[in-house]
A = this chain, B = another copy of it.
């Protein structure tokens, strides 16, 4: 009897690798519906851009290598179509049945854009698979499109816009909501728009696209369209097998990543996790979370006892070289979660002026009652990732802004000013509280 993992990307392979480490003799089968495993989908925009030349750079493991090095039975082109938990078996599209003792569901998520007609045309692209990216790259090379519309101003949308612009394509981004980067945050959206406009990419928010016409979208002439809006957990396979989904539509698990069916785990973009700031389940599909949850699911499925505490919702995206990093909640989100948020926003230099410091924006949000930090945002060309990670660590540790203000952060002119922008923001926030 075996551990069967459905899905051969981040969560699935992390789970398989970790299970192998816990139990060197366990039989482990990975079922991957596509042709490749371990795709680093976050690199796809850079393949479209042309920075990455070889698609092989985006896959860490070939099935052969994973098989050989980890002694895991990796099966590509193996699409699971149903799970019978009473029989402990997975039915594949091919008709084959794969028996399991323990099961890990790591089926990921998919683009989901109901209500947009014309999405099947040859000049319309998604950006989720290697095939998507290859098609887009060929189209750019062969058709030399002049004007593109990107639908969706989330991470993939802005990264695609950046990649296309660097290929001399005029780009307009159409976003249904009033916000960019999936965060209810007016100031962040304003900064994203400013940076896009600096590079002559237009962002139009509040635009609901119903149809993609052959030569235009929402009245905008274009010869290329990228759909990067609407993302949905692949949870149907689990739901059909009697596995409970959460309020978010993704698979519900406990902190061991086990579902309501004993011995069946879920991890990655198909599963919910706890948001450590709100204390509620959330669905924020990211590779980092998928890897961590996958490890925990794999460990527990192999007989260890580990837990995944949750996330704080940290992310970063580069838009034409500028980092837009967020963690926790924006002030609007914090309010919606029932906090009494207070926000401070400062601009400071990333390093001393005499050492080429550049403008950095830091926003911090805290709860008025408890003074606990609830979220933050860092925007800048220098050090945004490092700084948002400090805020993320503070959210994990439930630090109050008064504690955060006193953090002993590294200083030396080549790296930071003596008062780090994070600390200046904290001082400002304390004044506001």
Contacts and interface: CB of A to CB of B under 8 A. Distances in A.
A43 B408 contact: no
A323 B386 CA distance: 14
A389 interface: yes
Interface residues of A toward B: which range? 35 or more
A418 B291 contact: yes
Interface in A1-48: 10, 40, 42-43, 46
B316 A415 contact: yes
A292 to B, nearest CB: 6
A352 B45 CA distance: 14
The interface centre, meaning the residue of A40, A57, A393, A411 with most chain B CB atoms within 10 A of its CB, is A393
Copies in the complex: 2
Interface string A245-282: 00000000000000000000000000000001000000
Interface in A370-417: 383-390, 392-397, 399, 403, 406-416
A402 to B, nearest CB: 9
A413 to B, nearest CB: 5
A58 B196 CA distance: 35
Nearest to A58: B354
Contacts of A40: 352, 413, 418
A419 interface: yes
Interface stretch (A122-130, A142-150, A307-315): A307-315
A410 B314 contact: yes
A408 B392 contact: yes
Given A386-B383, A399-B396, A286 B354 contact: no
Interface of A: 10, 40, 42-43, 46, 51-52, 57-58, 155, 276, 286-289, 291-292, 308-309, 311-318, 321, 323, 325, 327, 352-355, 383-390, 392-397, 399, 403, 406-416, 418-420
